[in-house]
Amino acid sequence: MWDATFNTNLKGPYFLIKALLPLLNPGAAIVLNGSINAHIGMPNTSVYAASKVAMISLAKTLSSELLSKGIRVNVVSPGPVTTPIYSRLGLPAEQLSEVASSIQAQIPLKRFGTPEEIASAVLYLASAESAYIVGTELVADGGMSQLLFFQGRRMGNSNSIEAGMNPIQSSCLSMDVKSKGTAAR
């Protein structure tokens, strides 16, 4: 599983870029496909997530290496998108519907993205309108990787300032209040 995943998600794009590099003109833009799995720590996706983290790092490094040639490299990292992949899970329709509902409940926009929305993000990063964007990851996930933790903490917490903080931030705020009598940090 490790080799197949890294061959597909990292080696394939790397060697494709290497082969096509002589054909790319100054002003060219390369947009690689990342994933929010590189950021969210989803159970049972460690190998896939690691390959996407490596892809994001590759994009940043290639950005630096190819900038002198006038070639930009960026990444689009989609979240859950309506594609045929879900029907290939081999689940009965009722169970597939439950899985889809469970995933949608985790997305702040409460829906899957569409292939057209992801294509629009890629098109933007490939266009002249994004000429000043280099080595960047554009996350297109309906807020799932950025807002999910905040929402979960907020729903289970009071309206205090600590509601949207992770445990480390909350501990630091508590220590700061105790030691200095203020929440300046």
Catalytic residues: 48
Neighbours of 185 (CB within 10 A): 10
Bridge-partner residues for 63, per DSSP?
none
Q: Count how many Cα atoms sit within 13 Å of the Cα of residue 141 in the half-sphere of its side chain.
A: 25
Q: Which residues contact 150 (CB under 8 A, 6 or more apart)?
A: 164
Neighbours of 179 (CB within 10 A): 8
Q: Count how many Cα atoms sit within 13 Å of the Cα of residue 135 in the half-sphere of its side chain.
A: 11
Q: Which amino acid is at 2?
A: W
- CA–CA distance from 157 to each of 122, 180, 183, 184 (Å)? 37, 24, 19, 21
